[in-house]
Amino acid sequence: MSDLVFVATCQDALFQETRGNLARLGYTNCARFSSGKAAAEFIKYNPSRIIIVDTEVEDLSLAEFVTALREVRTSEFLHILVIASERTEEFVLSMISAGCSGLVLRPYNLASLKNHMLQSEKLDHFQDGERETIDLADTMITQGRYEDAIGDLTMVVSHQEDLASKYFFQGCQLLVEKKWSEAILAFNQSLSRNQTFIKAYEGLARAYLGKNDTDRYRFYLQKAAEEYAKLNNFAKVKKIFVEIVKYDVNAPNPYNTLGIRLRQEKQYKEAIQAYFQAIELSPKDENIHYNMAKAYFCDNQPEKSLECIRLALSLAPEHIEALKMFRLLSGVSWDDDPKAVFNPQKGK
């Protein structure tokens, strides 16, 4: 096999062991990193089909490193296999949360490593057909065959959305049942398909732009931006959002949309992070500051909630809901004392 496999570990003995096992499986092209930050920076510009994280790196915890790898290539699916000695439930869940593609626990046999390597190849194979369809649709768009491209891409979106949702909920159920390996595989299936239909959304946008249908162009760009926001790909979201605003200055901020959904699902801390990203895109949108205030309030951080309300009212002094919330938290009206602090007797 000629595929380059990256192995990240700061322990020489473990690297020699893993490289030897990979060679026995036919993976002879192997590169090593000791620094997590250096590995993430390199992979940002030099993609690899498989990345093996072996026990530890010098400058990041395993969870931090896996998360960093996911963040540098958010629009692509990376196969990140973690090899570790720790077996606690907390550790396994942290690896799943960070986004590993597979988890091999020491001591392991060669068959176990082979199985995980083959799983990554199968996941690539499952998606080859859909990726080929998207590539062909791009060619059709270039040729001006917009209707043909729209038909093919619509089928991809419909199929992949259904599968992404199915595998996601399957992964959640497997977590409850503590079937860790099966849960990881299900989440990987979901993520891979999610990234496929995002590409289809972008293709649909291009096709409708070719037909001069700006409404559908904006619609599919918005859909793509919202999905990229879920993957925390800020650079991609910003690029798409700037394009959308050319056609609609009132277009919804995708991170604000994500924040609202997360708050409704009671994931308050995650919602707050989404609102921070939303403000980066739209710093003068009073509704985003107001929404962040609600998330802080639900997260039992009333002082920060009041700070956000002040920002919202400084941008829109007549914002009725923000005025109500200011009085709720401070016990006084905005007109009487805009600098009023949180009153715990009022803001319960």
Per residue in 219-231, pLDDT (tens digit) is 999 888 888 887 7
Cβ–Cβ under 8 Å, residues 251 and 214: no
% of the chain residues with pLDDT over 90: 31
Q: Give the Å distances, CA to CA, from 148 to 21, 23, 92, 213, 218.
A: 47, 45, 45, 15, 20
Higher pLDDT, 235 or 177: 177
Predicted confidence at residue 308, as pLDDT, reads 96
Per residue in 95-145, pLDDT (tens digit) is 887 888 888 888 888 998 888 888 766 666 556 667 788 889 889 999 999
Burial environment of residue 296 by CB neighbours within 10 A (0 to 12, 13 to 18, 19 or more): buried
Predicted confidence at residue 208, as pLDDT, reads 92
What is the distance between the alpha carbons of residues 337 and 301, in angstroms, rounded to a whole number? 21
Burial environment of residue 93 by CB neighbours within 10 A (0 to 12, 13 to 18, 19 or more): middle
Nearest one of 295, 336, 293, 333 to 312, comparing CA atoms: 293
- Using alpha carbons only, give the angle 48, 50, 51 rounded to the nearest 5 degrees: 90
Predicted confidence at residue 122, as pLDDT, reads 65
Q: What is the mean pLDDT of the chain?
A: 85
Average pLDDT over residues 268-287: 90
Per residue in 45-60, pLDDT (tens digit) is 887 778 899 988 999 9
Per residue in 63-95, pLDDT (tens digit) is 899 988 887 876 567 788 999 988 888 888 888
pLDDT over threshold 50, residue 2: no
